[in-house]
Structure 1
Amino acid sequence: MVLAWNGADPSEVGDGSNYELGVWYRAEVDITITHLRIWTGPGEINVTNRRGRIWSSGGGALAVITLPDNPGDGWTLHALTAPLQIDSGTTFLPSYSTGGNYGALPNALNANVPSADGNLVALSAANSPTGFNGTFNTDPETFPNSGFGAPFYGVDFQYTLGHGDATPPRIVDTSAIADGLQVTAAAVVEDDEDLTGLTLRIDWGDGTDATTVTYPTLQASHTYATSGIYPLLFRATDSSGETANRADFVQVFGADASSNRLNTKAMQQALASHAMVLGNFKTVSLHEPRVRPAEPLHVALWWSTITPIDASGLAVTSARVEWLLRMYTPGEQEPQDEMDAIIGDATDRLIGSLARDFDLDDHVVDGLVRMIDIRGAHGARLNAVAGWARWSDGMSRVVTVTIPVIVNDVWQEGAA
């Protein structure tokens, strides 16, 4: 998102009277205003029932919001109740009510002041509809139709280009760095408008409360209770309420960490994270569902067989764990050609990712998994079978992917 005012900040003016202060702007392209932005100084406090407005050139109120009694020193953003669309070429006037002291920058509007992107202009006094800019009224909450000189009063706004919804943010990268049981997770977020006001929520995957931070802080730390591999879910929400999600994982080790055993929980969490980072699936469950999933595409994961195999040295046995990963559509979607294409693309991407990362090194960092048995050296190979699941309330299209995982040196042979 973009800010309208592109000049210097105002300074506080001591004045015990109350005013309605405004500045004339003109849109050079179609825009949508999402927030009012005002400047207040430390002397402007405890102002009750303060309002912000956007006026038409004829003095009609296009938008009205209630401002905090004490918004804080300097610039603050305040969301409109609903985004306001302004057509290209329209002249309009945002304003706010004061209550003792206000912000002003003398002679700032002797000439037009374009916005940073050039799509908006704060009009000079000579180019404004009234022949002066900024404007004031000694009766707060009334159209400010007086003025002298060319001061800029501290009123501004945030907007997006065009009419319609703002574009959502994008989480372009995530990271999770573990130190024992403590992890620091971070995200890199982009937005076609602006990151001001964006929040990042991190769900740690262990049943504890998620952590929410606000831009420019886009990282947080968390301490786990036990060793393991945990799925992470990042959700970015911009100031317009648009969201983006991205999954990741982290493996942590504490004093409880053990070796030489079959850790199905770690494998399951790793495979689930492996699937979710592809971006094809909306939800995941770590069990076979008994009711039809509601979200497209839902993926469920569980193990079906555990078999000792001859793949280790003397006196120790390896294991083959066969996992079933099943994709579900929420019902008998039409057209079926399109449905099968969507679920087929997800299958293609999943098998391709497992073939490239055949020992899950990207998801299990301690060598727990020796390999995905892609070609079936020790049993059924990596494969996918399409079909249907019948529920009490209908049918779902499903694809079941068999993922055979080989784990070295799990069970010690001979006497204890």
Structure 2
Amino acid sequence: MEYRRFGRTELAMPVFSCGGMRYQFKWQDVPYNTIPQDNQRNLEATIRHAVDVGINHIETARGYGTSEVQLGQILPKLPRDQLIIQTKVSPKENVRDFRETLEQSLKNLQLDYVDLLGIHGINTPELLDWAVRPGGCLEVVRQFQQQGRIRYVGFSTHAPTDLIVKTIATNQFDYVNLHWYYINQQNWPAIEAATRHDMGVFIISPSDKGGMLYKPPQKLVDLCQPLSPMVFNDLFCLSHPQVHTLSLGAARPADFDEHLNTLPLLDRPDEVLPPILARLEDAAIQALGKDWYKTWNVGLPQLEEVPGHVNVQVILWLRNLAIAYDMTEYAKVRYNMLGNASHWFPGNKADELRPRALRSCLDNSPHADKIPALLAETHKMLGGAEVKRLSQQ
């Protein structure tokens, strides 16, 4: 395993982290004695395998249902000084509620302290305010830090890039969990901002939200040769020293294995990546046209500026992936989550489209004339049954 300095925490962070949102029994809290033993044994085997291969960062959240309480059965059995344990708690308007939830997390984990506490889901200005305002959630965290129950505090986010940068600029956080991977590099300015503040950078879900790379389309497989799409994406992310760790949401011990094939390549990304990157770009240009590929997102309106809150940028991005790389299944899952995932994946599908009203907010786009038709076309291509976030299922 390779380890990287996790910003100003000075923690030696493995380049892969064990995310805790796919091996738990349920997304809702249930009594521990109702959890099937085969599920608990699988979770414990997954954790032990992670530690055996050097993945000593175990990451979970209060919002992951039974994950914390199940981890609380295995973590106290492992050498505490060799582990980096992280949980996350969502900000709340009432700090008393936040404190109670934080207490519950520590109780569930059966640990005296956690190394990393994340304010979970700073996705809107209001949630940021709840976290950082005087008397807000961070003041509770500071009290826990003074008691030795939390070492470092960060935040996780699905927010627009400008809000992530604004949150980083408060200089109240030691690290950030955010989305950034080959198919979606929009948050690079936030990673640069985190680097300037010497923060740890943790990439959320590069294999699932980064393209459902555990079941990639054949076209993507061919373009990424001689690597698998999953290993390519891992190497692409980790070839940037500003990135410190990638979350692997393992459901079973074997889910780490393909990712480990990335490790021998980390000292030669400049040799391995350029031919693959060139093929991916050429395929996208051939499928979408060079002008569209280079400028499709220029001048697009912010979500709050669009009538009906149609998420124009995300819809066109998903269309690009479906057409360029045959990533239609991934695009359908993400598209049909629009309208159902609140601030975690905001905005509506193109069935809310009002073409005449839309044109007024496209004045800065070089493709204003054709975008309404492309949005309608994308809805026909990707529309289907509603999809909910895992935590809503």
TM-score, normalisation: structure 2: 0.29
Greater fraction of residues in strand:
1
TM-score, normalisation: structure 1: 0.28
Q: Which has the higher contact order (CA 8 A, sep 6+)?
A: 2
